[in-house]
Amino acid sequence: MVLQCAIIFGCLALGELLVWLTGIKLPSSIIGMLILAFLLQVKAVKLRQVEGMANFLVKNFGFFFVPAAVSLMLYFDIIRAQWLPILVASAVSTVVVLVVTGWIHQISRKFF
Amino acid sequence: MEFLSNTYFMLALTFAVYAASQILQSRTGWSFLNPILISAIIIIAYLKVNDIDIDNYNESGRYIEFWLKPAIVALGVPLYKQLSTIRKQLLPLLISELAGCVVGIISVVLIARFLGATQEVILSLAAKSVTTPIAMEVTKTVGGIPSLTAAVVICVGIFGGLAGFRVMRMSHIGSPIAQGLSLGTAAHALGTSRAMDVSDKYGAFASLGLTINGIFTALLTPTVLSLID
């Protein structure tokens, strides 16, 4: 488990380092995720060296953002004032994403 | 009753409330009883009733929130497992994901702006389609309110899971791959679990949609936002 943590936190630390060095506007965690997938692909890291910890984190990641959802109580005023744009924009946009992604995929499958 | 705001007590409370919410959801099978949403409502009520400051709760919360970043890194494992599928149909996947991602950001921003939302709220909505940890990171990067994003993302997931198949039937999206992909792209983990209910094949493509759209949204949101500003 310690080795698994070392690998996962190592990827995260590399991500932090890249953000610090280049100043790119990307979350360090996303870069860390890409680094981990890359290391697995080139066999520098073996699946069994990370799988246990990774499965634990992925399966439970809903729990990790409960505190963020609780912090929502700080923004009740904003939500009360702007619930209509938030609701309508999110719902309409979700339908648009569903339809556009599906259509484009069905159409592009015919060409490639 | 100072003990009610004890750091370890509130940690234990968070674990217990979340576990109970999970049981509640699996017993009833109702997807709108999302454990994150239910836990947050119960904890907010607890804090209000006992007059505990949110800063006090965050003393406990930061130990939980700390695991968000490593959890995103861990998504590299499912991503790696899907690499061979991705490579086989690289172009259709990338094109449809790119379209879904860009259209998702632009539509939510333009509609919110048209309806008079403030800039802070608009920025918080941009990443609404992708899984919460990624969406919150993106919101932090572009300068929105991360916890507003968290709430919106959960609601989007519940809505997408409930309405997804009906919307796709009405718009003649029939292929299982396209259906799964769309659900994961538009409604992240909740869409994926809905797709998983139908079959593993739907589920695999939904998690692919979730992953690729997560990456695209993280990579492209700052650029797309600056283009339509």
Instruction: Please tell me the distance from the alpha carbon of residue B117 to that of residue B99, in angstroms, as a whole number.
Output: 25
- For residue range A23-43, what is the model confidence (pLDDT) as tens digits? 887 788 888 999 999 999 999
pLDDT at residue B90 in the model: 87
Query: Which one of B104, B121, B133 has the shortest CB-CB distance to A93?
Result: B104
pLDDT at residue A104 in the model: 95
pLDDT at residue A98 in the model: 96
Our CA-based measurement puts residue B161 at a distance from the nearest CA of chain A, in whole angstroms, of 11
pLDDT at residue A21 in the model: 95
pLDDT at residue B47 in the model: 95
pLDDT at residue B216 in the model: 94
Judge whether B18 and A66 are in contact, CB under 8 Å: yes
Residues of chain B with pLDDT under 50: none
Our CA-based measurement puts residue A32 at a distance from the nearest CA of chain B, in whole angstroms, of 5
pLDDT at residue B191 in the model: 87
Judge whether A1 and A52 are in contact, CB under 8 Å: yes
3-state DSSP assignment of residue B135: helix
Contacts of B131 in chain A (CB under 8 A): 61
pLDDT at residue B83 in the model: 83
pLDDT at residue B200 in the model: 74
Judge whether B88 and A57 are in contact, CB under 8 Å: no
Model confidence at A109: pLDDT above 90: no
Contacts of A58 in chain B (CB under 8 A): 71, 74-75, 77-78
Q: Locate B118 and state its tokens.
A: 């403030």
Nearest in space to B7 (alpha carbons), one of B61, B65, B45, B66? B61
pLDDT at residue B171 in the model: 95
CB pairs under 8 A between A and B: 322
Judge whether B120 and B147 are in contact, CB under 8 Å: no
pLDDT at residue B81 in the model: 85
Judge whether A102 and B93 are in contact, CB under 8 Å: no
Query: How high does pLDDT run on average in chain B?
Result: 91
Query: Whole-model pTM above 0.90?
Result: no
pLDDT at residue A111 in the model: 80
- In this structure, how many other beta carbons lie within 10 angstroms of the beta carbon of residue B81? 15
Query: How high does pLDDT run on average in chain A?
Result: 91
pLDDT at residue B20 in the model: 96
Q: Locate A76 and state its tokens.
A: 């009740």
Instruction: Please tell me the distance from the alpha carbon of residue B54 to that of residue B75, in angstroms, as a whole number.
Output: 30
pLDDT at residue B170 in the model: 94
On whether any CB of chain A is under 8 Å from the CB of B190, the answer is no
Query: Which one of B71, B120, B128 has the shortest CB-CB distance to A93?
Result: B128
Query: Which one of A12, A26, A58 has the shortest CB-CB distance to B78?
Result: A58
pLDDT at residue A99 in the model: 97
pLDDT at residue A6 in the model: 96
Q: How confident is the model at residue A110 (pLDDT cuts 50, 70, 90)?
A: confident
- For residue range A43-71, what is the model confidence (pLDDT) as tens digits? 999 999 999 999 898 888 788 878 988 98
3-state DSSP assignment of residue A14: helix
Judge whether B74 and A8 are in contact, CB under 8 Å: yes
ipTM given for this complex? 0.89
